[in-house]
């Protein structure tokens, strides 16, 4: 029997319908029940023979994995970002790849907005103080009227921009590939073609980009030194976009005020990580797409995409 490997840890929460869909087409399903992200070696060990398709989360689908899994025909991303998949090698091996476009955009956008509120009002710190029988307060700032730089104009970036305009923020988008002038006009969003200039003007900067050779560590010492000392950095995209050593220095020196991330270069971070220990650094455990609505949409859509690709391979 042909097999399908499903790696995302949260998939099991809405697995009934996807499993029914896959089994109806004659596939045996292998679920990741380890409770953790799989390594290359673990994927190869499981999918080396007989696995026709993989539904993958953030687990690495490298050239080595693609070469070792000799029966693999299709990879379906449970989510949007595909930087954990070697797309060029998949194409060379004639392995189809699709992502679940639009399934988690709202959830991630809402988290980005939530991190803006957390960064400007330090809600968690105040809640912890009160629960410890304290009543001390740290003065916050309003988001209304502040200048938000949205870096990346894909679906998530657009959803963030729309919500920020509802908060009466000034929104400027930076994305060299953005071509949707209608969106800019409809929501009153401006566009900049100068990244450093925008970084120097923004009160809040939020990242919504994949990790590529062009974007890795785009937030570096040069950029941090150009930003306002009161600026807030939000990153719900990929940890690799930020030079974490440079961010540590920027936060310690007061080059920027707060950084709030849902992603990190190593997840979870190592114990004693100096950046994570800073009081003006906020880190959540990659929960951007971890909502009931997004998980259900990703499970169904990634399964449909996989079945569609496998059928195309059969009919090719």
Instruction: Report, as residue numbers or ranges, the catalytic residues.
Output: 238, 267, 286
Other Cβ atoms less than 10 A from the Cβ of 162: the count is 15
Q: Is 1 exposed, middle or buried (0-12, 13-18, 19+ CB in 10 A)?
A: exposed
Closest by CA position to 97, among listed 78, 110, 112, 117 = 78
What distance in Å separates the CA atoms of residue 242 and residue 244, rounded to the nearest whole number? 6
**Please, how many CA atoms are within 13 Å of residue 174, restricted to the half-sphere of its CB?**
20
Specify the residue for token string 């709030």: 260
Angle at 208 between CA 32 and CA 215, to 5 degrees: 95
Return phi, psi of residue 249, to 5°: -65, -40
72 sits in which H/E element: none
Nearest CA-CA partner of 261 in 292, 240, 291: 240
| Residue 292: Cβ-neighbour burial (10 angstroms; 0-12, 13-18, 19+) | exposed
């Amino acid at each position: 029997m042909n097999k399908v490997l499903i790696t995302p840890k949260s998939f099991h929460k809405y697995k009934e319908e996807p499993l029914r869909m896959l089994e109806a087409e004659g596939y045996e399903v292998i679920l990741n029940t380890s409770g953790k992200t799989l390594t290359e070696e673990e994927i190869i060990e499981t999918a080396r023979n007989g696995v026709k398709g993989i539904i993958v989360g953030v687990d690495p689908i490298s050239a080595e994995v693609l070469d070792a899994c000799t029966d693999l025909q299709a990879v379906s991303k449970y989510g949007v970002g595909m930087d954990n998949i070697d797309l060029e090698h998949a194409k060379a091996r004639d392995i189809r790849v699709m992502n679940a476009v639009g399934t988690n955009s709202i959830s991630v956008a809402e988290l980005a907005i939530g991190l803006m509120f957390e960064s400007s009002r330090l809600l968690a710190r105040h809640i912890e103080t009160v629960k410890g029988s304290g009543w001390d307060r740290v003065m916050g700032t309003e988001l209304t009227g502040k200048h938000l730089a949205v870096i990346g104009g894909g679906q998530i970036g657009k959803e963030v921009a729309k919500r920020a305009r509802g908060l009466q923020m000034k929104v400027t988008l930076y994305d060299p590939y953005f071509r949707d002038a209608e969106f800019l006009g409809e929501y009153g969003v401006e566009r900049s073609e100068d990244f450093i200039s925008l970084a120097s003007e923004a009160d809040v900067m939020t990242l919504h980009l994949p990790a590529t050779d062009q974007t890795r560590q785009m937030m570096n010492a040069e950029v941090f030194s150009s930003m306002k000392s009161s600026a807030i950095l939000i990153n719900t995209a990929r940890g690799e976009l930020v030079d974490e050593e440079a961010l540590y220095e920027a936060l310690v020196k007061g080059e920027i005020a707060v950084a709030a991330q849902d992603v990190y270069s190593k997840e979870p971070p190592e114990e004693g990580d100096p950046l994570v220990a800073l009081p003006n650094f906020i880190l959540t455990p990659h929960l951007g797409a971890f909502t009931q609505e997004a998980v259900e949409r990703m499970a169904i859509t990634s399964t449909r995409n996989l079945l569609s690709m496998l059928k195309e391979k059969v009919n090719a």
